[in-house]
């Protein structure tokens, strides 16, 4: 599109316009009135490049001429389309991540939500009061004061905050969400605008609650059965469960490690036996041992120790197992063995007496 001068025949002007846009441009110019209007269209320039133009025109009633201006808005259009694309991509990411954005105008008490939050909160945008109070009403009653306090404290301290809370729906369902918020202040310290994000973390919370319940169940089971757990990580750090600590009678501030754990085993033979067992487990051989130890308080007890390794791509990444105090069983076995030996001695003595008596009677 290249022409010097002010007078351009309409047909020549339309030749510069992209064919698909010509009917719209022609209709716009023919139907323009004194109120004027504007229209965007595409045109091909002399160098072959296509540009987006905006013409603003109006009808001069005195002369009957259409007068106006044409402006190149190609860059503006590209920026607008890029912004639309980025917003669409952002919305898709937020939908996948179950994240929404909100903004609270503190001067007008107007709350603006992204579409993702309306979907998360299951609210029709047309029926939402769009205020901070309306938002609070959607929070689980037991969490409402805590959320409100966290927000108001952030305004007082001028610090961002993060909080997890529940949403309660009319049908009794509960969702968990995580919120982050930051507030913009004026130079004189007046709170102007709060912005934040909300993420649906219901699935994560359900998993966490299940894990906690399972851990509590295992802890109770371990307590009842008197079975403790242990684990050795890749860096040889040693973890003991509460029951394992109880069995070893260690104080609350005791920090176990492999060397200190081995020191509990009573005598060099017991110590070497567990060392060999651990070495075997690192090579894929589960183990079972019954060995004596001296607890932290000095008591001698018997432990049943089990263990095995966990491997990834042929490499042992951790060892884990159980310990159980079997002292009562060992004592019972000792008593039974002693009683058995006494019975054997008694039978042997009886046999010898009968044999001797028989010999005398002859």
Q: Kindly state the percentage of the chain with pLDDT values over 90.
A: 44
Two tokens, residue 124: 């029709």
More confident residue, 326 or 224: 326
More confident residue, 195 or 53: 195
> pLDDT for 188-203, tens place per residue?
989 999 999 999 999 8
On the question of pLDDT at 291 being above 90, the answer is yes
On the question of pLDDT at 74 being above 70, the answer is yes
| 128: nearest Cα among 107, 146, 145, 114 | 114
Q: How far apart are CA 279 and CA 286, in angstroms?
A: 10
Give the global pTM: 0.50
Task: Answer whether 296's CB lies under 8 Å from 254's CB.
Answer: yes
What are the chain's domains?
A: 10-74 (3.30.450.20), 96-202 (3.30.450.20), 226-325 (3.30.450.20)
Residues recorded for the chain: 362
Question: Of 57-61, 88-92, 152-156, which one has max mean pLDDT?
Answer: 152-156
Q: What is the mean pLDDT of residues 179-195?
A: 93
On the question of pLDDT at 138 being above 70, the answer is yes
Q: What is the pLDDT of residue 44?
A: 85
On the question of pLDDT at 5 being above 50, the answer is no
Two tokens, residue 54: 């905006």
Q: What is the pLDDT of residue 2?
A: 46
* Chain centroid offset of residue 249 CA: 37
For the chain, what is the total number of helices (H) and then of strands (E)?
11, 13
On the question of pLDDT at 181 being above 70, the answer is yes
CA angle at 296 for the pair 293 and 297, rounded to the nearest 5°: 105
Q: What is the mean pLDDT of residues 17-27?
A: 87
Q: What is the pLDDT of residue 128?
A: 79
Task: Answer whether 293's CB lies under 8 Å from 321's CB.
Answer: no
3-state class percentages of the chain: helix first, strand second, coil last, to nearest 5 = 45, 30, 25
């Amino acid at each position: 599109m290249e022409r010097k001068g002010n007078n351009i025949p309409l047909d020549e002007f339309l030749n510069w316009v992209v064919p698909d846009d010509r009917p719209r441009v022609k209709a716009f110019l023919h139907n323009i009135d004194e109120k004027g209007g504007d229209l965007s269209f595409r045109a091909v320039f002399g160098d072959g490049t296509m540009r987006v133009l905006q013409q603003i025109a109006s009808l001069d009633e005195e002369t009957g001429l259409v007068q106006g201006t044409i402006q190149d808005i190609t860059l503006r259009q590209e920026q607008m389309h890029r912004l639309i694309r980025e917003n669409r991509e952002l919305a898709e990411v937020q939908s996948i991540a179950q994240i929404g954005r909100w903004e609270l105008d503190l001067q007008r008490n107007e709350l603006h939500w992204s579409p993702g939050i309306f979907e998360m909160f299951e609210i029709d945008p047309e029926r939402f009061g769009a205020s901070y109070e309306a938002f609070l009403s959607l929070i689980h009653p037991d969490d409402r004061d805590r959320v409100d306090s966290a927000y108001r404290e952030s305004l007082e301290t001028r610090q961002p905050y993060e909080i997890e809370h529940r949403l309660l729906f009319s049908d009794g369902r509960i969702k968990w969400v995580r919120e982050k918020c930051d507030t913009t202040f004026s130079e004189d310290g007046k709170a102007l605008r709060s912005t934040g994000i909300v993420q649906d973390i219901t699935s994560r919370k359900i998993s966490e609650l299940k894990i906690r319940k399972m851990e509590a169940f295992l802890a109770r089971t371990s307590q009842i059965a008197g079975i403790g757990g242990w684990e050795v990580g890749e860096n040889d750090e040693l973890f003991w469960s509460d029951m394992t600590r109880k069995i070893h009678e260690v104080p609350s501030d005791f920090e176990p490690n492999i060397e200190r754990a081995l020191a509990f085993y009573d005598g060099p033979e017991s110590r070497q036996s567990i060392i060999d067992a651990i070495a075997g487990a690192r090579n894929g051989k589960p183990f079972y041992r019954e060995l004596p130890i001296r607890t932290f308080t000095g008591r001698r007890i018997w432990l049943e120790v089990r263990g095995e390794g966990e491997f990834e791509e042929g490499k042992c990444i951790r060892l884990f197992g159980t310990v159980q105090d079997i002292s009562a069983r060992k004592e019972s076995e000792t008593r039974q063995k002693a009683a058995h030996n006494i019975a054997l001695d008694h039978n042997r003595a009886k046999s010898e007496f009968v044999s001797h008596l028989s010999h005398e009677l002859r």
